[in-house]
Structure 1
């Protein structure tokens, strides 16, 4: 990827959250069943609820997710939390309750975090003393 923008970063984070939701549950090792799988007849299946289809992510999607997990490491913990909550599709009202910020402040933290990630991925240096608004303009998220 040649040029990262905050919107592309947001899409990759959303994809990573989608992959994390669909990974299989971890199982404890050492526990297994010696019973064979039960083969249901048609008459048995008539009254059963259909099993939920689980779409497993592709290996490429898992690799992109693993790469994406490290992007929020150097951010302020509040910014990282807001970014991951938005990636999971959490509503702004719930995010504001969780982090204790107003909607406009939470949105600014989110844009700032996406901008910092985009600038890092583009290997662009910026002064840490810049205001959040200037960093957001520098990355082109406004």
Structure 2
């Protein structure tokens, strides 16, 4: 596999957030509605200006990538986790800076450092899996 870059890691976190938004809503079990669904006439639905947007559910592969991405945050400190997820959710830098209590450039550097930490860990695991040569496996017996 190709080496991970900070852009790849950031894109994966954004994809994880979008996948999480597309998951079905979890409701409390035990509560249900016994009323039938009303079929409204066209003229009755005119006052309803709000149209509920239901995105398509994510694919199983997208859910697997989201779960893998969520495991990556174990390599980060708590503040770095907040920063990564806030940025993946496309929070403005102004809000992120207020949360962290620092300047925008400092927040950006912390974000880049967190992404680099994850990319370094991923690249280390890729190199570790490729460094085991099959012909040397089992020689120490």
Q: Fold-level match, TM-score > 0.5?
A: yes
Q: What is the rounded CA distance, in whole Å, between the counterparts of 2:60 and 2:44 in structure 1? A: 36
- Which residue is 2:22 aligned to? 22
More helix by share: 2
- Which structure 1 segments of 5+ residues have no match? 125-142
Cα RMSD of the aligned pairs, angstroms, is: 1.8
Q: What is the rounded CA distance, in whole Å, between the counterparts of 1:8 and 1:48 in structure 2? A: 42
Deviations 1:18-65 (A, max 9, x none): 122232322010001111111112222233224222103222222211
Q: What is the rounded CA distance, in whole Å, between the counterparts of 1:20 and 1:94 in structure 2? A: 22
TM-score (normalizing by structure 1): 0.79
- Which residue is 1:33 aligned to? 33
* Maintained 8 Å contact 2:75/2:117: no
The answer to which of 51-60 and 104-113 deviates more is 51-60
The within-5 A match list for 1:42-53 is 42-53=42-53
* Maintained 8 Å contact 2:75/2:118: no
The within-5 A match list for 1:48-67 is 48-55=48-55, 56-67=57-68
Q: What is the rounded CA distance, in whole Å, between the counterparts of 2:110 and 2:47 in structure 1? A: 51
The answer to which of 70-79 and 87-96 deviates more is 70-79
The within-5 A match list for 1:36-115 is 36-55=36-55, 56-115=57-116
- Which residue is 1:140 aligned to? none
Q: What is the rounded CA distance, in whole Å, between the counterparts of 2:100 and 2:47 in structure 1? A: 46
TM-score (normalizing by structure 2): 0.80
